[in-house]
Amino acid sequence: MKITSPVVGEIEVSAERILQFPAGLPGFETCHQFTLIHSEGDSAPKLFVLQCLDDPEVAFTVTTPEVMGLNYEFALSDEEVAAIQLGSPEDIHLLLIVSKQGDSPVRANVMAPLVLNTSTRLGLQKVIGKVDTSVTLKAVD
């Protein structure tokens, strides 16, 4: 599949790099297919682009909780486990959506991590609280 993204330009995405979000993401319910992109020369990337394949205008900057110094512990409902066809907790990978507005620091949405099943490439956004909060992303060398 080939798309043209305003963030990264024209890219070719192979089937094994497609992530499916069956329910979409909150506010982007029609966006179901995504891929993760990072700089080619970056052997240990800290930031990625979660590029929507359904609507190339939709892209999110994401990072791992470890980059933020966070360790998550929460339960998935039976419906969530079924939605991403989770067979083993070891298959879970978490990502956080980060954003930057003007001169303000980079912020991460820590109350709604993206939960990915690396085995099935299925994901969802888990809202774990109704508190509007964020964490400032620190630069890591």
CATH of the domain at 83: 2.30.290.10
Query: Contact at 8 Å (CB) between 48 and 63?
Result: yes
36-54 as b/e: b if 16+ CB within 10 A: bbeeeeeeebeebbbbbbe
Amino acid at 93: H
Find tokens 């990502």 and name the residue. Answer: 95
Tens digit of each residue's pLDDT (9 = 90 or more) over 36-54:
988 665 667 788 999 999 9
Residue 128: pLDDT band with limits 50, 70, 90: confident
Percent of the chain with pLDDT over 90: 53
Which amino acid makes up residue 72?
A: Y
Decide which of 66 and 135 is more confident: 66
121: containing domain: 2-136
**85 found inside a domain:** yes
pLDDT score of 79 more than 90: yes
The 10s digit of each residue's pLDDT in 96-116 is 999 878 887 778 888 899 999
Residue 60 belongs to some domain of the structure? yes
Domain count within the chain: 1
Q: Is residue 141 part of a domain?
A: no
The pTM score is 0.83
